[in-house]
Amino acid sequence: MLRDALLQLHRDLKSQKLRTLLTVFGLVWGTVAVTLLLAFGAGLKKQLITSAAGLGDRICIAWPGLTSIPYQGLGKGRRIRITDEDLEAVRPRVEGLKRMSSEYSDAWKMVYNLRTFPVDVSGVLPEFGEMRNLIPVPGGRFLNPLDMQHQRRVVFLGNQVAEDVFGKGTDPVGKTVLFNGSPFLVVGVLTKKQQDSSYNSRDSGLAWIPGTTFRALTGRKYLSNFVYQPASALEAEAVTDSLRAALSRRLKFDPGDKEAFGVWDTTEAFKFFEVFMLAFSLFLGIVGSLTLVVGGIGVSNIMNVVVDERTKEIGVKMALGAKSGAILRQFLVETLIVTAVGGAVGFAISIGICSAFPESLQEYVGKPEVSPVVASITVGILGVIGFLAGYFPARAASRLDPVVAMKL
């Protein structure tokens, strides 16, 4: 059956080259449209999520503020001050809380080789690095529990700070710098990352030291803000409510007072991206599918013409004993072969375009890629369109009266 279909397709190609080529071109164009639209959609989704993750891995950032609601005889306008001890006291009471770190921030002067650089420095806990996706360049590390325990004077530098101070291509790990006159050992440098948002400054231009060291050097007791991570993005709201309630009892403010305890829930951005990209990908898939449907209609029309041209041939085959099912399968297989050829060429072109996509644009729209998911969806659409485009002409051919067909 397949051999006969291939031979017949070859004969059709020779006799009707332009018609067959235009049919295949329609399928190629449709396949390229579907594949590229889905590939660019997948690349954009990955880029948006990567950029959002530059701020942190589904984290919440909280700031103490001023009360706006009187509470238990205490007036509004009272400043809420939070300490490390407060966070440690409420941590066990908050179900679903995975990680949490205080953050003390200030602008310091960094000196190296008699040159001075202004740098924003934050005192944090070791788990801060995991929450904020602060990945060190190989050969270095982030802060660890021993740094905290012994109040070590060690620093983890943002990649831009390291480049500005030590020069491009120089490894700062193991070198000593001065922060506000105190010597600090550089233990790690941030791996360059994409970051579209921040709550202080871009991570590339910051430096981090142990929170205990920061407090010891500055005498600071109250933190600037703190960062926490729910065990699941779905639990973010419940964790925030529980944390707010626990702190309100300890610090005496109304748990419903949003001004006393402000929160930026970055998991909301991830939820938005998921919904937006689902709708966007669906839209792109529909647009591409419609383009492929147009190609499928072209194939169906061509196959109807082929059936008309080969009516006598069909009548002879049926008169010699060919069953209607065999006739149907023959034309259906021919259609699927044409569809497969157009799809294969379209895939090859799509992969070539994705591979040649300029790196300069990938930072903004991501890198399009023909992933297994994209390929599976395109193949599925191609298969359905190919089957439907061939089935109805093939069914018409299989229902011809052999006597009438031989007279035409």
Q: For residue range 127-178, list pLDDT tens digits in order.
A: 999 999 899 999 999 999 999 999 999 999 999 999 999 999 889 999 999 9
Query: H helices of 252-323, where?
Result: 267-309, 311-319
Please, what is the average pLDDT of the chain?
A: 82
> In this predicted structure, what is the pLDDT of residue 315?
65
Which of 139, 153, 307 has the alpha carbon at shortest distance from 215?
153
Higher pLDDT, 290 or 256: 256
- Environment class of residue 223 by beta-carbon count within 10 Å: exposed (0-12), middle (13-18) or buried (19+)? buried
Average pLDDT over residues 308-319: 65
Which of 30, 78, 77 has the alpha carbon at shortest distance from 341?
30
β-pair partners for 326 = none
Q: What is the pTM of this model?
A: 0.65
Helices then strands (H, E): number in the chain?
A: 14, 9
Pick from 59-63, 196-200, 286-290, 370-374 the range whose average pLDDT is largest. Answer: 59-63
Q: How far apart are CA 147 and CA 360, in angstroms?
A: 40
Which of 310, 394, 399, 375 has the alpha carbon at shortest distance from 39?
375
Count of CB atoms situated within 10 Å of the CB of 292? 28
Q: CB within 8 A of 355, min separation 6: which ones? A: none
